[in-house]
Chains A and B, each alone.
Chain A
Amino acid sequence: MSEPTGLAWVALSFAKLLAIFVVYLGTVAYTTLAERRISAWIQDRHGPNRVGPQGLFQPIADGIKNLLKEETIPGSASPWLFVLAPALAFVPAFVTWAVIPWGAPLPTPWGTISLAVADLPVGFLFILAISSLGVYGITLAGWSSNNKYSLLGGLRSSAQMVSYEIAMGLSTIPVLLLAGNVAMGDIVAQQQATSWNAVLLSVAFLTFLVSAFAETNRLPFDLPEAESELVAGYHTEYSAMKYSMFMIAEYANMMTAGAFISTLFLGGWDIPFTTWDSTGAPSALKSAATFAMLYAKTLFWLFFFIWVRWTLPRFRYDQLMALGWRVLLPLLLAYIVLIASVLLALDAVGIGRGGAYVATLFGVNVAVVAVVAFWLDRGRLVSPAASRLQVQELERLRQVAARRAAIAAAGSRGT
């Protein structure tokens, strides 16, 4: 398996980049439609269905409309920063996915190439680093607008994103403990050799998922935009294409988050219950099938983001901060120590990769999830306080009825 060199390598890199960019833009465009159609479906209404069959041309119509609409720049805004902000949100959103391997290596006449735009040795640290740059665009948008809603939205967003970045970073440490490397290819290979990290590290998977929602500003963590409090948050003053760029960046970030979760915890491009995709010589068919697999996993997460939006109510800001700093941070620190200890214990009894390894880690995770669920629940669902309340309520009603009967009896004796 030789790798292409020289000019062929640069050309192939550019071709990969262009192909994935087009896939991204197409998916983002149709996620905006999917968001509206799925929202409509959940709320039992039609949603946009007039432009083309089933509203399929709606994203194109929206794009043209946004390009031609009048855009306003408030007189009191800082014009340069105001124009720069959407670009600062847009650029990191489309650079983060460079390291995600979208499928098994593809053989070409010039050599075998990886399906990641850049197979960097720093691996997912690149994603964490670049995605945190997105906060500059949002904060700057809020500040440069010189609008109170925008400023508050921008401030909330920056505090929220930095808080959950810690939880997100710490959730990836257990993955490192298992994979022993930050490179995305090694993490996928480790999951193919043992089991998906969602099984081995369920707690980290769940905390990572929660942080991903907070990092992409999606409900239940959409406080930077919170329609009922801040109009539209940091992009209140934005119109036409600049507004559209924030939306494109948000959906691109959602897609990257979906692909990132899938790669770290759901085996990446691994097709479950088969070893055909990861063994033997690379072929175009394998590349296509594994790409379709990761794409399907990413689409599932996009659907999940939209689904949760209409399922959970929005957090209060103090609840959001408490969850990030007082629940996720100590939980993850304890979890990292626990996983490191379990790995050491497995070494001490001489268990290598295999059934016992997977079963032990899964058992530990189930135990931790049970304890944490019980602790966070504080007797609300697991031991339903609601049912106890109903008993008390019933007792109170019984007493009221008895008192009324006694008064009625006394009244009838009196007359």
Chain B
Amino acid sequence: MASAYLPVLLLLAFVIANAGLIIGASHLLNKRRPTPEKLQPYESGIAPLGDARDRFSVKFYLVAMLFIVFDIETVFLVPWGVLYRELSCVMPRLADGACPAGAVSFFGLGEMLVFMAILVVGFVYVWKKGALQWD
């Protein structure tokens, strides 16, 4: 199955080459006549005040950290979602996708409810702490 990824590498190489070509071509084709004013960063027409790389709101770090937690949760949900139909039926499914009578299993749903419950506790905590409050 690894060979299925070969076209992706091909595409990646092709697109990187294109990006390089575009940047290179524009670099060669345009004339640059720099002046001190032109090289200043744009600040609505006035002389820039100080450096832009200053401290910024801690909220952005908080979002990044919360993102990791909830994105990993999403990643955990993917294999569960793929296998859910099999987890909720202990016998092979019929031709139309229905589960044979008496073969229904609560295992898949139960496992996910436990996982979600743990996560919701964390979510409620984060909410009550005000981490999701942006002002």
Contacts and interface: CB of A to CB of B under 8 A. Distances in A.
Contacts of A182: 78, 82
Q: Which 8 A-B pairs have the closest CB atoms?
A: A352-B98, A352-B96, A176-B81, A241-B26, A75-B39, A169-B74, A147-B41, A318-B134
Contacts of B88: 343-344, 347
Interface in B6-29: 6-8, 10-12, 14-16, 18-20, 22-23, 25-26, 29
Interface of B: 1, 4-8, 10-12, 14-16, 18-20, 22-23, 25-26, 29-34, 36, 38-44, 48, 51-53, 56, 59-60, 63-64, 66-67, 70-71, 74-75, 77-78, 81-86, 88-89, 94-101, 104, 106, 108-109, 112-113, 116, 119-120, 123, 127, 132, 134-135
B11 A17 contact: yes
A73 B17 CA distance: 22
Interface stretch (A154-162, A261-269, A370-378, A383-391): A154-162
A367 to B, nearest CB: 20
A117 B81 contact: no
Given A117-B7, A173-B78, A231-B44, A333 B30 contact: no
Contact of A162 (B7, B16, B53, B63): B63
B68 to A, nearest CB: 9
A290 interface: no
A64 to B, nearest CB: 10
Contacts of A121: 1, 4
B94 to A, nearest CB: 6
Given A148-B43, A326-B127, A98 B8 contact: yes
B67 A166 contact: yes
Given A148-B52, A340-B84, A350-B101, A77 B22 contact: no
A159 B116 CA distance: 24
Given A176-B82, A344-B109, A350 B64 contact: no
Given A17-B7, A119-B4, A173-B78, A91 B15 contact: yes
A110 interface: no
Nearest to A248: B22
Given A91-B15, A321-B132, A352-B94, A173 B77 contact: yes
Centre residue among A18, A151, A174 by max chain B CB count within 10 A: A151
Nearest to B108: A340
A67 B30 contact: yes
A147 B8 contact: no
